[in-house]
Structure 1
Amino acid sequence: MNAVTSTGPAITVGELVARAETLRPLLREEQPATEANRFPTQKIYDALSEAGLFHILKPKRFGGYEMNLDDFYRVVIEIARGCPDTGWWFALGTGHAAQIASYFNERAQAEIFGLRPNFQAPWSFVAHNPVAGKVDGGYRVSGTWYYCSGVPYASHFMGNMALPKAEGATEAPMLTVVVPEGGFTRLDNWGDLMGMKGSGSHGVVLDDVFVPDHMTFRFDGDAGIDGPTVGSILHGNPLYGGLFAAFAEGGLAAMATGLAFAALDEYEDLIATRNTPGTATLRAYNPDYQRSYGQAVALADSARAITLQGANLYLEHAARCVAGEAPFTIEKAVRLDGMYHMAERLAYEAVELLVRTASSAALKDGARLPRYLRDIIMCVSRGHDQFEFRAPNIAKEMLARTRGLAF
């Protein structure tokens, strides 16, 4: 286990963003290989590791940078601008450092962050036949979890499941377990959907794995926080005092934003190098193409602004909660979740507009624009994660508070 340090390496977010920007040509070059591989290639992983991009949200006392959430999103945007699949894999595999640092005690954090330098752990809530049998000192856990984005190269797996209901209880308590590499098996079951084929969202199997008590926590996604968390006290940082429900979608909003800028890069190259059909004039001089490009820029810029403001609001809510000024309520969480989904929708609109006006010649097999369209469609069509299905939660939370209605 790595030694615990009192401070992490001195670096600025500007330096990390610049490093991610420098990797853009490599990320784009490796897009076909990443898609064929079903997750980022070893070359990509090594490049991200050498750039130090895995440590943004990890606490300083464990060798991380302990930067703010908006700093993390800025880097995710740049990674996704180079390769959206890699951005998805990175955001959902690396971002959960914030939850480990928020909800687990010092012993668990030292073990988790000390296992190896690059912490990565998908957190899946989609399980088939999960079982957590209580034994002395912990649980024996079995089951299969799906959509474990980030599991290739992961140091840990985080799986959520329901425990048996207590007598007279209306709901079953939820348990999340953290299992280090070697204790879980990654299935070869990703890549048959239309997009995000290289996001590394494979399934995971646990087969009668012992998980000690300190590597678990009771997760209640329907409850708010009304004071400091274990992590906010340990690290003295409100970053580690927020609700996961207010955090979860932000990484994908950042990925979608980067994807929109990636599509803009392709479109800019297209209109700056190809003539308007039937003329000898570059498309860049044509008001129709200028209009599409300008509208898409505004959409992408708006998605970026929403995503970064969501991160700032998360920290503001967490800071007030830790200080005892106001609880971090589920209403605040679902409204932040809604903001992130709107950022994804704006990114989708930008990509759709660019693809629709690029001409069919730009949509050949292997071209980037059609890949980006497939990827953004996957982002906005994720079953229960579609905003249309989640928007009612905002209404219910607000009406319960403002009108006293019960749902």
Structure 2
Amino acid sequence: MSGNAIVSADELRKRAEDLAPLIRSKALSAEQNRTLDDEVVEALAEAGLFDLRRPQRYGGHESSALDMGEILATISAADASTGWSTSVWTIGAWLAATFPDHVQDEVFATPAVRICVALSPTAVATDTGDGLIVNGQWHFVSGARHSHWQVIMTMAPALDGSQWPVAALVPMSDLIVDDDWDTSGFAATGSVNTAAKDLYVPRERTLPMPLVLQEQFASELNASSPVFRTPMIPTGAAGFIGVAIGMGRAALAEFHRNLPGRAVAFTDYGVQSEAPVTHFEVAEAALKLEEAEYYAWRMATLLDEKGAAGEAWTVQERMHNRGRLGRLVQLVEEAVDKLATASGGSSIKSTMPMQRIRRDIQAFSLHGLMHPSTNFELYGRALCGLGPNTGYL
């Protein structure tokens, strides 16, 4: 199903919904194995759900941010680790589409190609004239074991002799995988370490990160597409908001699934749904999730609208966007925590999805891009008339 035929957004959403039972059924074993289930990965690939940001000329969908968010929310509601990994591969495809067109020919020659990403420049490189020799390692590389390529980040010599971060496309076969992934949350993402030792990367497969962050992309054929003329950080954020929304929806659904017949232990309430405390808890959680969706779809709509119009983002808009991201993450985490607390002692069993959702949203909120306090500080600087304290806007 991942061929060249144009597939509607409705059809892609239906495919995600159809795969949800399979994804859900493999969630516990995937967590125990610390990597995604092979059958799930193959099914998502066959359904074309790794092609949301693959360029159309290679059989991709070039999905809008709104459609992408809804599809990723559906996958993430079935299992957050699967949704997170799919989001990472979606962002990886978008990043690959900013490289020179002939480089894309090589990368996208693989059907349902999966490109993992490491944005921290934790490696060093020397310049050979026609490329770079890279040494170093990268941490938290989600989906590495099921990926074909990785976008690595390394410090390398700039034209003026200083050092700057450079992104490079590298086949996974050229990298060393060190499985140190043993975590409380997002366990099934298999976010292992990868490393390079005296790895040669041709110049054509490198892009200076400061240029990428300023939308100075190397692709000519993608330049007219609304999907590929948006800033990297708002684009990346749009890829992750569906993961948060999916976790919130899953927690609310799980709470309601277990509500019938449940009592409030050591009280006179033989039916939890009749207890006023339950009404307060579920109402507050549901409203927090409703607010989170407002921020999420506002971010996605803004990205789509400005991409379609070819409008540049101001620094203040970028800082505000990060603030919205922090707020929606905070709201989802608070809602999940409230629903988990209201779910009683039985919800902590390893077979119960609620406890995994709770751990996964905590892991999500600790990510550097998602962390609420970091994002609030950045937006607060804009509100106080100050510039950003980061280039990742």
TM-score (norm 2): 0.89
Indicate the residue corresponding to 1:336 in structure 2: 321
CA offsets, 1:50-108, max 9 Å, x none? Answer: 2221111111101111111221111110111000111111111232212222x212111
Indicate the residue corresponding to 2:128 in structure 1: 135
| Equivalent residue in structure 2 for 1:387, among 372, 375, 380 | 372
C-alpha distance 43-143 of structure 1, shift in aligned 2 (>3 A) = same
CA offsets, 1:103-149, max 9 Å, x none? Answer: 212111111111x1112222213354x22222242112221111111
Indicate the residue corresponding to 1:269 in structure 2: 257
For structure 1, the residue ranges without an aligned partner over 5 or more in a row are 1-6, 402-407
Shift of residue 188, structure 1, vs aligned partner: 0.8
Q: Distance in 2 between matches of 1:319 and 1:333?
A: 17
Indicate the residue corresponding to 2:103 in structure 1: 108
Q: Distance in 2 between matches of 1:307 and 1:72?
A: 12
Indicate the residue corresponding to 1:24 in structure 2: 20
Q: Distance in 1 between matches of 2:108 and 2:214?
A: 26
Indicate the residue corresponding to 2:113 in structure 1: 119
Q: Distance in 2 between matches of 1:235 and 1:384?
A: 26
- Within the alignment, does 1:283 sit opposite 2:272 as a pair? yes
| Equivalent residue in structure 2 for 1:56, among 52, 55, 59 | 52
CA offsets, 1:278-305, max 9 Å, x none? Answer: 5685433444323322322222232223
Answer yes or no: is the 8 Å Cα contact 2:101–2:221 preserved in 1.
no
SS of the residue 2:88 aligns to: helix
| Equivalent residue in structure 2 for 1:173, among 159, 164, 175 | 164
Indicate the residue corresponding to 2:391 in structure 1: none
Q: Distance in 1 between matches of 2:363 and 2:206?
A: 31
C-alpha distance 337-210 of structure 1, shift in aligned 2 (>3 A) = same
Q: Cα RMSD between the aligned structures?
A: 2.5
Q: Distance in 2 between matches of 1:71 and 1:232?
A: 25
Matches within 5 A, 1:336-375: 336-375=321-360
Q: Distance in 2 between matches of 1:392 and 1:188?
A: 34
- Within the alignment, does 1:145 sit opposite 2:138 as a pair? yes
Identity %: 23
For structure 2, the residue ranges without an aligned partner over 5 or more in a row are 388-393
Indicate the residue corresponding to 2:390 in structure 1: none
SS of the residue 2:50 aligns to: helix
Aligned pair count?
384
Indicate the residue corresponding to 1:234 in structure 2: 222
- Within the alignment, does 1:205 sit opposite 2:178 as a pair? no
- Within the alignment, does 1:304 sit opposite 2:297 as a pair? no
SS of the residue 2:259 aligns to: helix
CA offsets, 1:11-32, max 9 Å, x none? Answer: 1112211221222222222111
- Within the alignment, does 1:220 sit opposite 2:192 as a pair? no
C-alpha distance 96-331 of structure 1, shift in aligned 2 (>3 A) = farther
Matches within 5 A, 1:318-333: 318-320=307-309, 322=310, 326-333=311-318
Q: Distance in 1 between matches of 2:179 and 2:357?
A: 24
Indicate the residue corresponding to 2:236 in structure 1: 248
Answer yes or no: is the 8 Å Cα contact 1:232–1:239 preserved in 2.
no
C-alpha distance 354-221 of structure 1, shift in aligned 2 (>3 A) = farther
Which residue identity lines up with residue 74 of structure 2 in the other structure?
E
Shift of residue 267, structure 1, vs aligned partner: 0.4
| Equivalent residue in structure 2 for 1:15, among 11, 14, 18 | 11
SS of the residue 2:189 aligns to: coil
Answer yes or no: is the 8 Å Cα contact 1:247–1:337 preserved in 2.
no
